[in-house]
């Protein structure tokens, strides 16, 4: 089921934590915003040129996380899990204030963001939501990585496949329909890495804040986190979460069926840039009222079915 109208958060909320890559503590505030405002970040540690719009054209790096940057080289990194939380909770408009250059990693998933937003509530606004509807099949390949999208009038569906030579991860595949009511297996799934890669990642100045509190770490045939996995497809579910966050950078919720093999932040961004360059691939639409959840419960037959 789709939403007819735009939404914002009911009231301001904040989160505190450390950056996965820079290891520094930061505070973010999610602040209600007017209709048609979109998702906009503001670096409150800087006085000038501190606005960065959440848009795929502002992605300056997609190495291990998604970084967005404005024309004054002011950036914010690891935006994807917060954006995925906004996607899942239905938020279209929000000002995100942050006092540092990286969004806190929290527990490595979108759990805390989603649960707090759901507890606070979202507010329906007066303007209709605009969806990006895919009009024809479009594919993109980069070496062994593949992504395609096909028209789907009703939702964003993501069919994702991971292939790792590590036995614990192995080949993992899952299909998620983002119009489903319960997406908890997606938003609670944590980021992950192989123990053997940590040294190399730290050498290039990343993952300074990484620990077993905010990532699943796999060493040979063992998961080092004492509590194990949160669901049996946590690795691929996290990749689907990343994709939803990265896709919100298109500026709209996308209606289409995605198939992705071995994807990641970089592939998602290259894909959006190529897909959206050609206007014959998509149209920006408002949906018909008959497809919304409000109208479903308004029709007498459905009401009877629900009460039965
Ligand atoms: Zn991630």
Question: What was the pLDDT predicted at 1?
Answer: 66
Distance from residue 101's CA to the centre of ligand 1 (Å): 17
Centre a 10 Å sphere on the Cβ of residue 162 and count the other Cβ atoms it contains. 21
- Give residue 65 CA to ligand 1 midpoint distance, Å: 7
Between residues 230 and 288, the one the model is more confident about: 230
Return the HEC string of 64-77.
CCCEEECCCCCEEE
pLDDT at 199: 86
Q: Torsion angle of alpha carbons 230, 231, 233, 238, nearest 10°?
A: -40
pLDDT-wise least confident of 24-33, 99-108, 294-303? 294-303
- For residue 290, give both structure tokens: 């008959």
Short-list 184, 303, 176, CA closest to 244: 176
Confidence of residue 301 (pLDDT cuts 50, 70, 90): low
Q: What is the pLDDT of residue 207?
A: 82
Q: How far apart are the first and last CA of the chain?
A: 21
Instruction: Tell whether the model's pLDDT for residue 175 goes beyond 60.
Output: yes
Q: What span, in angstroms and rounded, lies between the C-alpha atoms of 74 and 303?
A: 51
Q: How long, in residues, is the chain? A: 308
Query: In angstroms, how far is CA 186 from the centroid of its own chain?
Result: 10
Going along the chain, which residue ranges are E strands?
A: 5-9, 13-18, 25-32, 39-43, 51-53, 59-61, 67-69, 75-76, 94-98, 122-128, 131-134, 138-142, 145-150, 156-163, 171-177, 192-194, 216-219, 222-223, 253-261, 282-285
Q: How many C-beta atoms surround the C-beta of residue 200 within 10 A?
A: 11
pLDDT score of 148: 98
307 compared with 141, residue with greater pLDDT: 141
Is residue 306 scored above 70 in pLDDT? no
Compute, in angstroms, the gap from residue 280 CA to the centroid of ligand 1. 31
Distance of CA 80 from the midpoint of ligand 1 (Å)? 7
Q: Tell me which DSSP letter residue 102 carries.
A: B
pLDDT of residue 307: 45
Average of pLDDT values for 159-174? 96
- Among 22-26, 105-109, 250-254, 299-303, name the one with the lowest average pLDDT: 299-303
Which pLDDT value is given to residue 205?
84
Question: Range with the lowest mean pLDDT among 43-47, 57-61, 124-128, 291-295?
Answer: 291-295
Place 308 in a pLDDT band, splitting at 50, 70 and 90. very low
**Å from CA of 238 to ligand 1 middle:** 6
pLDDT at residue number 292 = 63
- β pairing state of 282-285 and 131-134: antiparallel
Considering the candidates 21, 81, 238, 265, report the single residue annotated as catalytic: 265
143: exposed, middle or buried (Cβ count in 10 Å: 0-12, 13-18, 19+): exposed
| CA 79 to ligand 1 centroid distance, Å | 9
- pLDDT at 276 exceeding the cut of 80: yes
The 10s digit of each residue's pLDDT in 80-137 is 999 999 999 999 999 999 999 999 999 999 999 999 999 999 999 999 999 999 999 9
**If you average pLDDT over residues 70-86, what whole number do you get?**
97
- Cα 88 to ligand 1 centre (Å): 15
Task: Please confirm, yes or no, whether 265 is among the known catalytic residues.
Answer: yes
User: Which of 36, 40, 112, 122 minimizes the C-alpha distance to 81?
Assistant: 112
Taking the centre of ligand 1 as the mean of its atom positions, its distance from the CA of residue 51, in whole angstroms, is 23
CA angle 188–189–194, rounded 5-degree value:
150
Domains of the chain: 5-291 (3.30.1700.10)
pLDDT in tens, 199-240: 888 888 888 888 999 999 999 999 999 999 999 999 999 999
Q: Mean of the pLDDT values across residues 35-54? A: 98
Cα of 152 vs centre of ligand 1, distance in Å, is 25
* 163 — pLDDT class (breaks 50, 70, 90): very high
Cβ contact 71:47 at 8 Å: no
Share of the chain above pLDDT 90, in %: 85
Average pLDDT in the chain: 93
The average pLDDT across 170-182 equals 96
Long-range contacts of 10-15 (CB under 8 A, 24+ apart): 10/120, 10/121, 10/122, 10/123, 11/120, 13/116, 13/117, 13/120, 15/104, 15/106, 15/112, 15/113, 15/116
**Ligand 1: centre distance to CA 215 (Å):** 9
């Amino acid at each position: 089921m789709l939403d007819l109208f735009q939404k914002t958060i009911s009231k301001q909320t904040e989160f505190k934590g450390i950056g996965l890559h820079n290891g520094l503590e930061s505070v973010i505030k999610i602040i209600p915003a007017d209709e048609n405002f979109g998702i906009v970040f503001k670096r409150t540690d800087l006085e000038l040129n501190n606005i960065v719009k959440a848009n795929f054209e502002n992605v300056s790096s997609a190495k291990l996380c998604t970084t967005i940057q404005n024309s004054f080289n002011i950036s914010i990194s690891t935006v994807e899990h917060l954006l995925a939380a906004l996607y899942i909770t239905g938020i279209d408009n929000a000002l995100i204030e942050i006092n540092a250059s990286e969004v806190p990693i929290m527990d490595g998933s979108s759990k805390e963001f989603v649960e707090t937003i759901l507890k606070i509530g979202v507010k329906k606004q007066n303007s209709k939501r605009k969806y990006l509807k895919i009009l024809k099949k479009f594919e993109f390949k980069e070496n062994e990585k593949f992504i395609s999208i096909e028209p789907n009038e009703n939702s964003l569906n993501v069919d994702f496949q991971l292939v790792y030579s590590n036995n614990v991860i192995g080949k993992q595949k899952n299909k998620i329909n983002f119009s489903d009511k319960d997406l908890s297996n997606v938003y609670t799934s944590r980021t992950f890495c192989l123990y053997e890669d940590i040294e190399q990642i730290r050498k290039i100045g990343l993952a300074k804040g990484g620990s077993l509190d905010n990532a699943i770490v796999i060493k040979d045939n063992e998961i080092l986190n004492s509590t194990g996995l949160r669901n049996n497809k946590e690795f691929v579910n996290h990749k689907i979460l990343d994709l939803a966050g990265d896709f919100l950078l298109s500026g709209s919720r996308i209606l289409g069926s995605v198939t992705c093999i071995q994807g990641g932040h970089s592939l998602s961004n290259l894909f959006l840039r190529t897909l959206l360059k050609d206007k014959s691939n998509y149209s920006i639409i408002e949906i018909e009222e008959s497809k919304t959840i409000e109208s479903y419960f308004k029709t007498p037959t459905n009401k009877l079915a629900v009460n039965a």
